[in-house]
Amino acid sequence: MKDGLYNIGEFASLLGVSKAVIYKWEKEGKINKAKRIDRGKTMYRYYTTDDIRDVRLKMNLQAPTVNKRKQLFLNFKGGTGKSVISANYGYRLGQHGFKVLMVDLDPQGHLTKCIGENPESFSKTLFDVIINKDPIQSVISSTKVSTIDLIPANLGLSPIELSLTGLHAREFKLKRALADIEDDYDVIVLDAPPNIGLLNLNAILSVDDILVPVLADFLSYDGLKILFETLRDIEDDFDYRLENIYIFLNRYNESMKISIRSRDAIKKNYPDYVCDTVIRQNTTLSDATAQGVSIFEYAPNSRASGDINKLVNEIYNL
């Protein structure tokens, strides 16, 4: 994932001012001028995430406020697009200047891949923290985005379910590990594998919010029932209450009747949890993922980037 590069329109939007204001501040020497990159015969102006923080400080602009959050992308049904959406969701938060930690909980390393990293290039995962008791700082990797760090996953994480079984207080190992570094981040975004296991139980008991991507089809709707029953049992067994559950539709196709029926059924049965935002069906997001970059780099003006931006704005009231 490349560092965030923004044209002046994107830069001004993230700062909450007009392009004319940016030009004026640069002309008056109040802020640093845009960087430039040579593309053929043309020199293009661009800004970075660091520039956003610098301008906010120099011009006393209020940054978007966010209470520190730990958020888990979870669905026991596979194929709902959790990893792709969570990667782009975290990236967008990083663009706003929030300090973000992305945590991959899936031995397949899908979140790690979506961020543009090779899972097998990492020698350590959360297995080394939870089972081998290595410091959690030792598995945190920086990314090419200055505001985003990563705890990667690969097949080295695979034995963790079996290894957790015999441990004392096994359900709270992840929560205790994250406690050592959670004050260093504004948002911790975790991407869970699609199963009911001890690692996912650890994740649920570690977070404030759960974000549930669902497809607009019968199987995804049916899977919500299993998910909510499981969450209710966990809350009862551990006397624990999640602060928020957000359900959002992914790959939504409003031209298909099944999509509309599924959307209406979810809204009817889970009215307190459904987001207004839907992520519409598109191929651009898949193309960006294949390139190992975010949709905000690959196609910043696309429908997909707009939908994910709306999801972030809805959840954080930006």
CATH code at 96?
3.40.50.300
Q: Does residue 267 share a domain with residue 135?
A: yes
Cβ-based neighbours of 318, under 8 Å, separated by 6 or more: 64, 96, 312
Q: Does residue 103 share a domain with residue 12?
A: no
Query: What pLDDT digit, counting tens, does each position of 64-109 carry?
Result: 667 799 999 999 888 899 999 999 999 999 988 899 999 999 999 9
Lowest mean pLDDT among 45-49, 217-221, 260-264: 217-221
Q: Rounded to 5, what percent of the chain is helix, strand, coil?
A: 45, 20, 35
Per the structure, the count of domains in the chain is 2
Distance CA 110, CA 96 (A): 24
Mapping DSSP to helix (H, G, I), strand (E, B) and coil, where does residue 288 land? helix
Query: What pLDDT digit, counting tens, does each position of 223-255 carry?
Result: 888 999 999 999 999 999 999 999 999 999 888
107 is a domain residue:
yes
64 is a domain residue:
no
Structural domain boundaries, residue 257:
69-316
Q: Does residue 111 share a domain with residue 9?
A: no
Among 38, 58, 78, the domain-final residue is: 58
State both tokens at 212: 């549930």
Among 34, 58, 82, the domain-final residue is: 58
188 is a domain residue:
yes
Mapping DSSP to helix (H, G, I), strand (E, B) and coil, where does residue 226 land? helix
State both tokens at 174: 């992840």
pTM of the model: 0.86
Among 13, 35, 58, the domain-final residue is: 58
The pLDDT value given to residue 41: 61
Residues in the chain, overall count: 318
The pLDDT value given to residue 122: 96
Provide the percentage of residues in the chain whose pLDDT is more than 90. 63
Could you tell me the strand order of the sheet in which 148-151 lies?
141-142, 148-151, 100-104, 187-191, 69-73, 209-215, 244-252, 274-280
**Do residues 124 and 139 lie in contact, with contact meaning Cβ atoms separated by under 8 Å?**
yes
Supply angle C-alpha 267, 273, 279, rounded to 5. 70
63 is a domain residue:
no
Q: Does residue 77 share a domain with residue 54?
A: no
CATH of the domain at 26: 1.10.1660.10
Alpha-carbon separation of residue 67 from 7, 52, 275, 304, 315 (angstroms): 29, 20, 19, 26, 12
Query: What pLDDT digit, counting tens, does each position of 115-165 carry?
Result: 999 999 999 999 999 999 999 999 999 998 889 999 999 999 999 999 999
Handedness of CA 54, 58, 63, 68 (dihedral sign): positive
Distance CA 292, CA 119 (A): 12
